[in-house]
Amino acid sequence: MLTRSMRKPLLGLLCACGLAGSSLHAGLPDFAAAPYPVAADQWPFVGGDPAGTWFSALRDINDTNAGQLGFAWAYDMGTDRGQEATPLVIDGVMYTSGVWGIVYALDATNGKLLWQFDPGIDPASARNACCDTVNRGIAVRDGVVFVASEDGRLHALDAKTGAEKWAADTIINRHQTYASTGAVVLTSDAVVIGNSGADLGDGSTRGYISAWDIKTGAFKWRFFTVPPAPGQPFEHPELALAAKSWGPDHDGRYQNGGTVWDGLSYDAQTDQIVFGTANASPYVRAKSAAERHDDLFNASIIAVDAHSGRMNWYYQETPGDAWDYDAVQKFIFANLPVGGETRRVVMQASKNGFYYTLDLKSGKLLAADAFTYVNWASGVDLATGRPHFTPIADYSAKPKNVYPSWAGGHTWNPMSFSPTTGLVYIPTLDVPNVMVNLPRNGGELDHLEGFFNANGIIPDDTYDVPTLSRLFGPLPSKAELQKERGKTSLVREVLKAWDPVAHKVVWEHVTSEGNRGYDGGVLSTAGNIVVQGRGDGTLRVYNATTGAQITAIQTGTHIMAAPMTYRIGGVQYIAVQAGYGGIGISYPIPPGDAAYRNMNTNRILVFKLGGGPVPQPQLRPDPFDYPAPPALNATPAVIARGEAKFTEFCSRCHVFGPGVTPDLSRLPAEVHAMFNDIVLKGALAGLGMAPLNDMVSPGDVDAIHAYLIDQQRQGYTAQHKNTATN
C-alpha cells in the first residue's frame, strides 16, 4: 500500500452538529463525526455535514411525536426523471439540483421559487449518462452555488440570483462517453469533480478527478485513476505502480475506466480528498482465477492531497473486478474505538457487500465485514487487504448466481451514521445476479451495452428462463437458485442498522421483496428517528434504537433520494426529492407501484408536525393499451435478430411495461413512421433519444423495428382476445 506521512498536524477532534460528550447516549464512545460543528437548524452540505453522516442534531421531531408528521409544502420540479439529490438549506433558502444539473433556489418555508438555473444541456448527451440524467447534489460557500451539469461542465452561480459567475469544461475528450452526475466537493480553495462512463460504448473513458480554483474556475490539477495506453508517458508517478498491475494483455486501444461518478469527500483535518473508483473499461468480465489481474486503481478507495492532487494512500476493495463492484459509494468520517484507542476513520458500505473501516490518515485497513449476504468471497484478509475468492466468483466456464449483484449490496443511496446511537443505517440490496460469459455460454448475444462480454441477470419475478436462455445461453432455474437461500427471498431490499464497532446488524426491515423497489437513502436525527423513502411512494419513520416503525406517509411518488431536515422560525421540517429513474430507467416501475402510474413525477416534498395529507399527483393514462400495429412482413429470422439487437443496444434504457422511458412495444403509428429517422438520424434527440448510427446499421434498425412490431402485434392480439372473452 502506497502511503506517505501527512505534513499538516491534525486539528482538534470536534463533534458533528455540536454534539459533545454529555449529549451522547450513556456508555457510547464520543463519536466525533465532523471536522467542525454545523449549525443544527441548517443543512449546509449534501450529507448534512462535512463528514457525510446524513445526521442532524435537531430533535423537535422525535420518536414520541413523529406519528404526527404531515404535509407542509411541495414544489413541482417540472421534470419526470430520476431524483437523487439531497437539498441544502442555508439562511432560509433551499438549494438543490435536479435532472441535467438544473439548480433550484426556493423559500424553505413555503416552496416559492426564488430562481432557477438551466445549464442548457444538449439532450442527445443523455446517451453518455449510464443511468439516467440524474444529479446527486450541489455545494454552497460564501454566496456561491457550485454544480456539475450532466455534460461535465462545472458552474459557479450567484446564490442570490442564480446568475452564472464562471463555468469550466472539465471533460478531457468530448469524443468519449463522459458524463457527470455526482455532487461536487469543496476543499479550502478548490472545487473538485469526477465523472462517469466506464460502462459505456467501447471502453473509451479514462477515470480522473480534477480540481478548479473556487474563485475563478481556473484549472489546478488532475489525478488519473488508471494508467494510459502502454508506451504513453505517465501524467503522475502513481500511474507507474498502477501500470504494473494490468497484466501482459493490456490493450492500448482502450481507456481503462476507473471513473469517479459519486462519493467524493473532503476531510479538513487531514486536508485530503477521499474518493472511490469504478470498474475497468472495457474489461473481460468473465475472468478465471488464472486470468485475473488487479487492474489498479479500479474498484479502489484513494486519498489525495487536496492541494497537490498527489496520492496519500490507496486501498483496492475488489482486485481484478469481474462483477461490477464499483467502490464509489459515499463515505462517512468518524472517530471510532479500535484496539483500545480512538481512531479517525473513513467508513464505506461497499457495493461488493463488505463494510470497510480504514484509518483516515494512513489508509490502513481496520475492518472488513459482510453486512449483507455475500458468496463471491468468504471474507477479507485484514493483513493483506485482499478478499478470499470462492469458486462462485469464477463464471468464465459456467453461469454462477453471485451475491451481491452488479447493483451492489449498497449503491449510491446514502447511508446515515448517528453519533447518538453509534449505528449506521444502510439501505441494503440483498439481490444476486446470474453472471453469464456471453461468448462462451452458447446464446445469441456476444455483447451487451453497459456489460461488454458478460451479463448479470437478476432472478426476480421477471426471470423467464426459456426466453433468457435463447439470448444468453442455458441458465439455471429459479428453483435451483432458491436452494442457496432456503426460505429467504432471492431478491429483496433491506434497511439495516449496523454497529461499526461490534461489526454486526442490530436491527433490520425488509423494504421490498421479489422485485427491487429502488428504495431511497437514509436520514437519522438526535430525535432518535431514522427516515427513509421507498419505491412504493411511502416515507417511513423508524425508532433509531429499536427499529420499530413509527409512521408511513403515502406520497404517490417514488422516493430514491435521501431525506434531510432543517428548522426555520422554530418549526422543524423534513424534506425529500421524489421521482423514479436512475438505474431504474432500464426496469419497469415495480408491479406494486405501477398502480399509481405517476411514480416518476418530480417533486420536492416537505413535512412538519401537524401537517396534512400529501396531495397525490395526477394519475397517468393507463399505459397497458396496445395501439393497432403496422403491417409486418419480416421473417422469423429477422425478428429473432431484432430481439438480439434490441437486447444489446436498446434494453439499457427501454423496457416493456410502465417505466421512465417509452415502452417501444406500444408505439403509435406516427412514431412507427419515423422509427428509422429517430434511431439513425436523431429525430427525437431533443427528447433525449440520441442517434445510434455509430452503433447499429440500417439493417439492424430494420430488424429491431420488426421485433418491436411483432411484440406489439402479440400484445394487441391478446388484448382484443381478452376483451372479446370478457
So which residues are the catalytic ones?
A: 324
The whole-angstrom distance between residue 336's C-alpha and the CA centroid of its chain comes to 27
Q: Are 345 and 52 in contact (CB under 8 A)?
A: no
Query: What is the DSSP annotation of 61-117?
Result: S-TTTGGGEEEEEEEE-S--S------EEETTEEEEE-GGG-EEEEETTT--EEEEE
565 contacts: CB under 8 Å, gap ≥ 6: 43, 56, 58, 61, 523, 525, 531, 572, 573, 574, 575
Q: Which three cell numbers stand for residue 661?
A: 422511458
Q: Which three cell numbers stand for residue 89?
A: 438549506
Hey, how many other C-beta atoms are within 10 angstroms of the C-beta on 604?
24
Torsion of CA 337, 340, 345, 348, to 10 degrees: -70
* DSSP designation for 156: E
Cα end-to-end span (Å), the chain: 69
130 contacts: CB under 8 Å, gap ≥ 6: 179, 196, 197, 199, 200, 261, 450
Does residue 206 sit in helix, strand or coil? strand
* Whole-angstrom distance, CA of residue 65 vs CA of residue 414: 25
Does residue 417 sit in helix, strand or coil? strand
Does residue 635 sit in helix, strand or coil? coil
Does residue 210 sit in helix, strand or coil? strand
Name the region of 284 (left: φ>0; alpha: ψ -120 to 50; beta: rest): beta
**Cis bond before residue 297 (omega within 30° of 0):** yes
* Whole-angstrom distance, CA of residue 228 vs CA of residue 240: 10
